[in-house]
Amino acid sequence: MSIAEIKDSLPAYAKDLKLNLSSLFNNPGMTDQQVYGTALACAYASRNAKLLRAVAAEAEGKLTPEALEASKGAAAIMGMNNIYYRFTHLVSEKEYATMPARLRMNIIGKPGIDKADFELFSLAVSAINGCGMCIDSHEKILKQAGLNKEVVQNAVRIASVIHAIAAVLDAEEALEG
């Protein structure tokens, strides 16, 4: 299924998502790697098979093999980190935040692509996973790298649209089954 077919398959109540999907891959100020890497990381994080396949097909030829791996890696590592760091941020006992995480996070130090692009993918996935501590950390690094607020906002916009479409597709599939 292609992105166009995904768009056409969305029900009438999701018209706004259709409209947003139409412009999702057109983000002035962002490189193709930033746009498609962010979208792919978000599709992985959103876990809908149809949407993941469509976004992966859309990203084909626009991402280097290294960027493809980094996009998947951002979804994977944030899947772990967002749970852990959201816990340390939300739990009343603050001592947990001072304890060593003892989690391997090598990809963050050596993502295989431009560090800022990897941080952008990670920020978008962290927004989906709802980890404020991670969002703040990635946004700070992006500012230090010189990315402007519009690029950060666009990445989160991509995350919000991808995640919402995944939720609609999952819901509609549940009703069919």
Distance of alpha carbon 5 from alpha carbon 50, whole angstroms:
10
Distance of alpha carbon 29 from alpha carbon 5, whole angstroms:
27
Euclidean distance between the first and the last CA atom of the chain, given in angstroms as a whole number: 19
Q: From the candidates 134, 158, 162, 168, which is the catalytic residue?
A: 134
Assigned token pair, 86: 């959201």
Q: From the candidates 24, 41, 45, 131, which is the catalytic residue?
A: 131
- Residue 42: active-site member: no
Distance of alpha carbon 157 from alpha carbon 170, whole angstroms:
20
Catalytic residues: 131, 134
